[in-house]
A and B are shown apart, each in its own frame.
Chain A
Amino acid sequence: MSIVQESIPVKIKVKKNKTAYYLILPGIGWLVLFFLVPFFTLLATSLQKPAGTTPDDGYLPALRFSNYSSALSEYYPQFFRSFVFSGIATVVCLLLAYPIAYYMATKATKYRNLMLVLIVAPFFASYLLRTNAWKTILSGDSFVVSILNSLNLLPDGRILNTPIAVIAGLVYTFLPFMILPLYASLEKIDIRLIEAAGDLYASPRQSFLNVVWPLSLPGVVSGTLLTFIPASGDYINAELLGSINDKMIGNVIQSQFIDLRNYPTASALSFTFMALILVLVYLYISRAGTDELV
C-alpha cells in the first residue's frame, strides 16, 4: 500500500528585488550621456554638407554619404599603416611581455610586487612627456643611435622620424597593457599542471606548448586587444616620433578636426575606423575561439 501524496501547487509570491536595477542606473546614465549622445551627434556630423566655401561658413544637416567614400579613397594608406604599425607593435609587445609575465608569475616570488609597481610606474608621468623623452632618446646624437650606428644596424643612420621609431614608441606605450593581463592569466595556472605534464612525458618545450600556452590564451587575447585597439588609434607617437610619411589615421582625424575644422570628414573617418576595428576584433575573437578559453 502506498500513500499517494498529492502535489499541492504552492504559489509563493516573490517580491522582486529591484535594488540591482537601481544600482546600474548611474552607469547607464553615464553611458547615455557620454557615449550614445556623442555617438549619434558624430554620426549626424559625418553626413553634413558644407554651408559655404570655408569652414567659417559652418555645416548643414544632410545625408552626404560621399563624405565616407572620399575620406576612405583619400586616406586609405593611413588606415592601412595604422593597422600595420599597431599590428607589429602588438606582436612585439607579446614577444616582450610573455617572458616578463611568465617570470613574474612563476619565479619572482620575492620581487613580484616590485616588478608590478615598476610596470605601472610610467603611468605616473604624462603620456606626452614620456613620448617626448623618447624623442630625445632616439635623436641623432643620442647614445642609443650612436651605438646602433657604430654596429651598422641602421640603414638610414637614424631612428627618429622613421617607422621604427613610431612602432618602438607604440610598444613602449602599450607594453603594460600586454603584461598585466598575461600576468593575471599565467599566475592562475596551477604549477601542479606543469608537473603533471612533465610526469606524462612532456619535455619542457612540450609542456609549454600543450599546457602553459593554451591556458594563458585568455590573457593573450585580452592583452593583444588592449594593445592593438588603442595603438591603432594612437596619434601622439606618430606625431612626435615619425616623419610626414609615417602618419597614422589618428593624425589625420586630429588634423581634420582641429586644424582644418573639416568636421564631416573627421567624423566620417572616426566612424570608418570604429567599424574597421569592430570587424577586426570580431574576426580575431571568433578565430581565437573564445569558448575554448577556459
Chain B
Amino acid sequence: MTTNRPKVEDLHLVNLTKSFDDFKAVDNLTLTIPAGSFFALLGPSGCGKTTTLRMVAGLEEPTSGQIKLGSEDITSFPPYKRWVNTVFQSYALFPHLSIYENVAFGLRRQKSADIDKQVKAMLELVELTTLAQRKPQQLSGGQQQRVAVARALINEPDVLLLDEPLGALDLKLRRQMQLELKRIQIEVGITFVHVTHDQEEAMTMADTVAVMNEGRIEQMGAPLTIYEKPRTAFVANFLGQSNLFEGTVAGVEGDELAVKVKDTVIYVPLNSTEIRSGRIVLGVRPEKVKIVDQGKTGLPKNQIQGSIHNTAFVGVSTQYEVLSSWGQEISAFEQNVDPSDLGRPGQLVTLAWEPRHSFVLDPDEDLTAGLDTTWDE
C-alpha cells in the first residue's frame, strides 16, 4: 500500500441527488459515515441503494451534491482515483485470471511493493490459500464471494462498499458469511458500507443502520434504537412488525402521556415525544404485547380488550391476531414456554404492555407505509 496516504477518513454525502430523466432515484441525501464503522444501508428493492453506492464508487455521476472523504471533495474523481473499493453484488470476478491474480489486480495497478506477500496474507484471511491457482468459475458461490471481498479489501481503501454481497447465498452460508464479514471488518478497521434489503442482516452486522425509502433516508441509528423506537410508519413496518394506533392526546399524567385511542387510553413515556396535544400516532411491537384471558389482574398498564381472530403456531412462538373492540387487527407474539389453551377464535382476551414499550411516530404518518411496495407517489 502507498505509505504517504492519510489515515482512513469519514465519508460525507452532502445533498446527493441522482435523477434518471425526471425520476429521482436518490433524493437529496445527506449523511456522514464515521471512519471505521460498519454502516448498513437498508431498504426495499428500487429505493436507490445501489445508485448511492455507485455514486460513492464513481461509477455513476451525481446529478447534484457532493461526496467527500474527510475534507477532500471526490465528487468528480474517476473510479480509479478514489480510495474506495466495491464488492459487487454479482462479484464481477475476472474470469480469465486466477484467484491469486484477481486478488492481486488492484495492487498491480498501483504498482505496490510486496504484492506476493500481501496477496498471500489476504488469501489466508479469507481462507482461500489452497484455491489460489483456480479460476473463478471453479469456485463455489461462497468461495467466489470471499474472493470478491479479498480483492477489494486488499487495497485497504478508506471505504469498502458491499452491494448485497450475500444475496445469492443460501441461508446457512449467509449467516456464516455475515459473521465472517463482521470479523474481517473488526480486524482491518476499515469503514464498511453494506447494502442489503434483509433487515435481520443489517441489524446483526451493523453499528449504524440507515433505512432508505424512495431515495431518502427515513431513519438512521443504532440497530436497537431504530428497532425499539422507529420514528416513521415505514421504518416501524419495514423493520419487523408493528401495531400502530392513531389517537388524540388526553393529557399528561406524571411522566406519562395519556392518549385516547377509540374507547381505550394508552400511555407512553413523556420523553418519547414532544407532542402534548392533538393527533398522535403510536405503536408497539407484537412481541412486547402480552395476551391473557379477560379478567386477569396484575397486568401492565396499557390494556386493550378484544377477541382472538386467528392464531398461527410457528414453533418457537405463537402469533395471535386479535380484533380490538373497534375492529382493528392487533398482533401479539408469545413464546411457547408452556403450551396454553388460548387460541379458539372468538375467545375474549386482554392485550397488555408496558408504557415504555410504546413508541411515537412523527406526525402526519401514513400508517400503511412500508407494509407493502408503494407504487404510487
Contact A200 B95 (CB under 8 A): no
Partner of B59, one of A198, A201, A211, A214: A198
Most chain B CB within 10 A, of A201, A215, A294, is at A201
Once bound together, how far apart are the Cα atoms of A215 and B88, in whole Å? Answer: 19
Q: How distant is B86 from chain A, measured CB to nearest CB, in Å?
A: 5
Q: How distant is A196 from chain B, measured CB to nearest CB, in Å?
A: 4
The residue of chain A having its C-beta at the shortest distance from the C-beta of B82 within the complex is: A199
Given A192-B88, A192-B90, A199-B79 contact (CB < 8 Å): yes
Contact B80 A196 (CB under 8 A): no
B345 at the interface (CB under 8 A from A): no
> Which of B102-110, B243-251, B307-315, B329-337 lies at the binding interface?
B102-110
Contact A198 B80 (CB under 8 A): yes
Once bound together, how far apart are the Cα atoms of A214 and B94, in whole Å? Answer: 10
Q: How distant is A192 from chain B, measured CB to nearest CB, in Å?
A: 4
A193 at the interface (CB under 8 A from B): yes
B92 at the interface (CB under 8 A from A): yes
For A210, the chain B residues whose CB sits under 8 A away are: 105, 109
Partner of A199, one of B59, B94, B95, B110: B59
Q: Contact string, A204-247, partner B, CB cutoff 8 A, digits 1/0?
A: 00100011001100000000000000000000000000000000
Once bound together, how far apart are the Cα atoms of A193 and B59, in whole Å? Answer: 12
Contact A294 B80 (CB under 8 A): no
Taking A198-B58, A202-B105 as given, write out 9 further A-B residue pairs in contact, using a Cβ cutoff of 8 Å, ordered by the A residue number. A195-B79, A195-B92, A198-B59, A200-B85, A200-B109, A201-B109, A201-B110, A203-B109, A211-B94
Partner of B80, one of A192, A203, A211, A214: A203
Q: How distant is A25 from chain B, measured CB to nearest CB, in Å?
A: 36
Contact B155 A215 (CB under 8 A): no
For B80, the chain A residues whose CB sits under 8 A away are: 198-203, 206
Q: How distant is B157 from chain A, measured CB to nearest CB, in Å?
A: 9
Q: Contact string, B56-87, partner A, CB cutoff 8 A, digits 1/0?
A: 01110000000000000000001110001110
Contact A202 B92 (CB under 8 A): no
Once bound together, how far apart are the Cα atoms of A206 and B81, in whole Å? Answer: 13
Q: How distant is B20 from chain A, measured CB to nearest CB, in Å?
A: 16
Most chain A CB within 10 A, of B58, B59, B80, B110, is at B80
B5 at the interface (CB under 8 A from A): no
Contact A200 B96 (CB under 8 A): no
Contact B155 A201 (CB under 8 A): yes
The residue of chain B having its C-beta at the shortest distance from the C-beta of A191 within the complex is: B92
For A294, the chain B residues whose CB sits under 8 A away are: 95-96
A197 at the interface (CB under 8 A from B): yes
Interface residues of A (CB under 8 A from B): 190, 192-193, 195-203, 206, 210-211, 214-215, 292, 294
What are 9 A-to-B residue pairs whose CB atoms are below 8 Å? A192-B90, A195-B59, A199-B58, A199-B84, A200-B106, A201-B110, A203-B109, A206-B80, A215-B95
Once bound together, how far apart are the Cα atoms of A193 and B86, in whole Å? Answer: 12
Once bound together, how far apart are the Cα atoms of A214 and B86, in whole Å? Answer: 22
The residue of chain A having its C-beta at the shortest distance from the C-beta of B95 within the complex is: A294
B229 at the interface (CB under 8 A from A): no
B151 at the interface (CB under 8 A from A): yes
Partner of A198, one of B78, B90, B93: B78
For A214, the chain B residues whose CB sits under 8 A away are: 96
Q: Contact string, B141-153, partner A, CB cutoff 8 A, digits 1/0?
A: 0000000000110
Contact A199 B86 (CB under 8 A): yes
Q: How distant is B88 from chain A, measured CB to nearest CB, in Å?
A: 6
For B88, the chain A residues whose CB sits under 8 A away are: 192, 195-196
Once bound together, how far apart are the Cα atoms of A201 and B85, in whole Å? Answer: 9
Once bound together, how far apart are the Cα atoms of A167 and B61, in whole Å? Answer: 45
Contact B57 A199 (CB under 8 A): yes
Q: How distant is B117 from chain A, measured CB to nearest CB, in Å?
A: 19
Given A195-B59, A215-B96, A294-B95, A200-B90 contact (CB < 8 Å): no
Once bound together, how far apart are the Cα atoms of A142 and B59, in whole Å? Answer: 49
Contact A193 B78 (CB under 8 A): no
Q: How distant is B178 from chain A, measured CB to nearest CB, in Å?
A: 23
For B152, the chain A residues whose CB sits under 8 A away are: 199-200
For B85, the chain A residues whose CB sits under 8 A away are: 199-200
Once bound together, how far apart are the Cα atoms of A81 and B255, in whole Å? Answer: 100
For B57, the chain A residues whose CB sits under 8 A away are: 199
For B78, the chain A residues whose CB sits under 8 A away are: 198
Contact B110 A190 (CB under 8 A): no
Contact A200 B59 (CB under 8 A): no
Once bound together, how far apart are the Cα atoms of A195 and B57, in whole Å? Answer: 10
Q: How distant is B56 from chain A, measured CB to nearest CB, in Å?
A: 11
Once bound together, how far apart are the Cα atoms of A202 and B151, in whole Å? Answer: 13
Q: Contact string, B225-238, partner A, CB cutoff 8 A, digits 1/0?
A: 00000000000000
Contact A196 B94 (CB under 8 A): yes
Q: Pick the 4 closest A-B CB pairs, nearest first.
A: A200-B106, A196-B92, A198-B79, A201-B109
Contact B109 A206 (CB under 8 A): yes
Q: How distant is A210 from chain B, measured CB to nearest CB, in Å?
A: 7
Q: How distant is A136 from chain B, measured CB to nearest CB, in Å?
A: 46
